[in-house]
């Protein structure tokens, strides 16, 4: 069985780490867990000081939430296969077709908007099932398989749109999917919060979530323990497809036009957010809240830099550097922890046996 990434499925044994006696030891253990949330707060404080008139405002908060809700949904979509040790690149390619299809089904084919939304999500789930079949049945590496299907989806988007913008009169109900507000904030942020909460409950507190993490750590051991690896991995890709379809609908409602040149720029930020999620809260383990914190760091950092006068190339540069730094930090922290565990195990093996208690 091929695997593109690895994740720690089970919780580590605390006794193997030994006791953190010094302040440096405690800081070294806390930094990988709480470093990114702390960095998020530091960025907010820094940009609020540098940009007191524009950054710490309700208008800027609304702009960030509206702009990054789609990326957050795609990052959550990418997170689900990552839990099983796979990667899904179609989250970035698929949204190109899904947002075009959501509009064309209404403006060109006359479907009511609820039927158009349902059909888009169904098509996204179908491509997710195809990805799962290619990875688990055809045994193609997930990176290669999803790159291939993603390119096909992008070609379908170009063919369907003819390379032109898809425009037309859209009903108010469809526009309100992204345009409505709740408690004075864009409703897209509440979609992300609700989906994140559901995914967190499933992955952390259900047998299904536990099985996904076990598959991500050791698929052969999962099979020996009676877990249906093929079924779970395929279901993970289907769930990823459904979320990418929802993101496409949200993007279409927000833009109200469809064009093939929009969507691919979401791929890298979504993957960066998901990878960042594996470096915080539970380092080495892909997790939902870590993913959302990763997306928040990208959103806050890019917004602040752009308001400071950053050039147009700042956003991709920031995304790429953040990905490299996060992977480097995660690898360094994991290596240090593995060395600590090996040292503790060796000390236990070399220590003299404890005398048996007297009767």
CA angle 353, 357, 359 (to 5 degrees): 150
- The dotted CATH code for 50-344 is 1.10.3470
Given pLDDT bands bounded at 50, 70 and 90, which one contains residue 15?
A: very low
* DSSP-derived secondary structure for 235-264: HHHHHHHHHHHHHHHHHHHHH-SB-TTSSG
Given pLDDT bands bounded at 50, 70 and 90, which one contains residue 332?
A: low
CA pair distance 87, 4, nearest whole angstrom: 6
Q: Where exactly are the structural domains of the chain?
A: 50-344
CA pair distance 42, 35, nearest whole angstrom: 10
Sort 54 into a burial class: Cβ within 10 Å, 0-12 / 13-18 / 19+.
Answer: middle
Sign of CA dihedral 68, 70, 76, 80: negative
Q: Is the pLDDT of residue 14 over 50?
A: no
**Residue 232 neighbours by CB distance under 10 Å:** 20
Report the pLDDT value the prediction gives residue 245, as an integer from 0 to 100.
93
Average pLDDT, integer, range 59-66: 87
pLDDT digits (tens, 9 = 90+) for 186-228: 899 999 999 999 999 998 899 998 889 888 888 888 888 888 8
Beta-sheet pairing, 185-186 with 181-182: antiparallel
Average pLDDT, integer, range 100-120: 91
3-state secondary structure of 186: strand
CA pair distance 23, 19, nearest whole angstrom: 11
Scored b (16 or more CB within 10 A) or e, 312-332 reads eeebeebbeebbeebeebbee
Q: Which residues contact 343 (CB under 8 A, 6 or more apart)?
A: none
Lowest-confidence region among 121-125, 278-282, 306-310: 278-282
**Phi, then psi, of 54 in degrees rounded to 5:** -125, -35
In this prediction the pTM is: 0.82
Given pLDDT bands bounded at 50, 70 and 90, which one contains residue 112?
A: very high
């Amino acid at each position: 069985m091929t695997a593109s990434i690895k994740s720690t499925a089970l919780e580590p044994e605390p006794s193997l780490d030994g006791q953190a006696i010094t302040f440096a030891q405690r800081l070294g253990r806390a930094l990988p867990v709480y470093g990114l949330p702390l960095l998020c707060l530091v960025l907010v404080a820094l940009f609020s000081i540098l940009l007191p008139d524009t950054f710490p405002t309700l208008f800027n908060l609304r702009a960030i939430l509206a702009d990054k809700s789609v990326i957050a949904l795609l990052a959550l979509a990418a997170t689900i296969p990552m839990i099983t040790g796979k990667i899904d690149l179609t989250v970035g390619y698929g949204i190109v077709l899904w947002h075009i299809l959501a509009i064309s089904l209404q403006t060109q084919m006359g479907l009511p908007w609820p039927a158009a939304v349902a059909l888009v999500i169904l098509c996204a789930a179908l491509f997710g099932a195809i990805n799962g079949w290619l990875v688990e049945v055809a045994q193609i590496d997930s990176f290669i398989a999803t790159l291939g299907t993603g390119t096909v989806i992008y070609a379908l988007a170009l063919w369907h749109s003819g390379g032109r913008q898809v425009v037309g009169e859209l009903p108010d109900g469809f526009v309100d999917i992204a345009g409505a507000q709740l408690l004075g904030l864009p409703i897209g942020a509440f979609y992300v919060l609700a989906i994140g909460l559901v995914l967190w409950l499933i992955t952390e507190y259900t047998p299904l979530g536990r099985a996904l993490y076990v598959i991500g750590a050791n698929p052969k051991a999962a099979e020996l323990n009676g877990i249906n690896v093929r079924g779970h991995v395929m279901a993970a890709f289907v769930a990823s497809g459904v979320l990418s379809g929802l993101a496409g609908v949200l993007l279409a409602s927000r833009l109200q036009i469809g064009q093939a040149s929009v969507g691919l720029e979401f791929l890298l930020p979504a993957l960066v957010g998901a990878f960042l999620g594996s470096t915080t809260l539970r380092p080495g383990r892909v997790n939902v809240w870590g993913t959302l914190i990763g997306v928040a760091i990208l959103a806050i950092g890019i917004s602040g830099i752009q308001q400071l006068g950053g050039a147009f190339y700042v956003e991709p540069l920031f995304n790429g550097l953040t990905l490299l730094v996060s992977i480097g930090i995660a690898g360094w922290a994991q290596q240090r922890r593995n060395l600590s565990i090996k040292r503790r195990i060796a000390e236990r093996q070399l220590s003299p046996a404890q005398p048996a208690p007297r009767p």
